[in-house]
Amino acid sequence: MRSKLSLIGVPIVMIIGYVISLSFEWLFPVLTFGAAGLYIFLFAPFHKMIRYVFLLIFLINLLSSIVLYYNI
């Protein structure tokens, strides 16, 4: 059940993130790939070490959104 949830949910999370980021451009990285990485981290049945790669993807995209917000 958990693997099906991760397969179905990732595109839904990315589409919702894309729609929200149309209003706030600086949220695009964290709401699309970052949210998908966090979603996979939480729900995918991967090995523990691989899951932390997806958490790292979320953190990198979160930092990218912060950089876009402050125009650094």
Greater pLDDT, 21 or 6: 21
Q: Examine the pLDDT at 1 and tell me if it is beyond 90.
A: no
List all residues 6 or more positions away from 14 whose beta carbon is below 8 Å from its beta carbon. Answer: 32, 33, 35, 36
Task: Domain of residue 23: give its range.
Answer: 2-70
**Whole-prediction pTM:** 0.76
Q: How many domains does the chain have?
A: 1
Mean predicted confidence (pLDDT) in 38-58: 81
- How far from the centroid of its chain's Cα atoms is residue 10's Cα? 9
Q: pLDDT value at position 67? A: 92
What sign for the dihedral angle of Cα 38, 22, 5, 33? negative
Mean predicted confidence (pLDDT) in 17-30: 86
